[in-house]
Amino acid sequence: MSTQSSERVVLLVDTDRCIGSGMCEMLEEAIFLIDEDTNIAGVLGDGSLPSERAAVVIDRCPASAISVL
């Protein structure tokens, strides 16, 4: 369990599904940003998060647009 929870995973945004709610940007502002022109979320940097935090943002995204690479 403890080894699993320290793993980092890389996240992707499905740009067709994204509705621009900004939930991801609120939860994890270091790796998600809503583009000001398209109103679609993008991933910053290497897009990686500890797996338990990734699970939260994946679950909370209303559009189910976030997944693990």
Partner 1 sequence: MTAVIESSLNVTDSSLYLDGIPHDRFAALRAQPGIAWHPYGDDDSAGFWAVTRHSDVKEVSKNAEMFSSALGHTNLWDLEADALEARRSLIDTDAPDHTRLRRLISSVFTPKNIRRWGELTRSVVSDVLDDFEASEGGDWVDLVAAPLPIRVILAILGVPVEDADYLVELSNYLVEGTGGEQSLAPDAFGNTTELRLLPFNSPASHAMFEYGARLADLRRAEPQDDMVTMLVQAEADGEKLSASEFRNLFHLLIFAGNETTRTALSHGAVVFADHPEQLLRLRDDRSLLDTATDEVLRWATPILHMRRTATADTELAGTAISAGQKVVMWYASANRDDTVFDDPFRFDIGRGGGNQFSFGGGGPHFCLGAFLARLEISALFDEMASRGLGLQQRGEIVRCPSNFVHGILSVDMEPVR
**Residue count at the site for partner 1 (CB under 8 A)?**
20
Instruction: Using CB under 8 A, pick the residue from 42, 51, 53, 63 that binds partner 1.
Output: 63
Closest CA to 66 of 38, 36, 27: 27
Beta bridge mates, 22: none
20 binds partner 1 (CB under 8 A): yes
**Of the residues 9, 21, 42, 55, which one makes contact with partner 1 according to CB under 8 A:** 21
What residues line the site for partner 1 (CB under 8 A)?
16-23, 25-26, 34, 36, 38-40, 59-60, 62-64
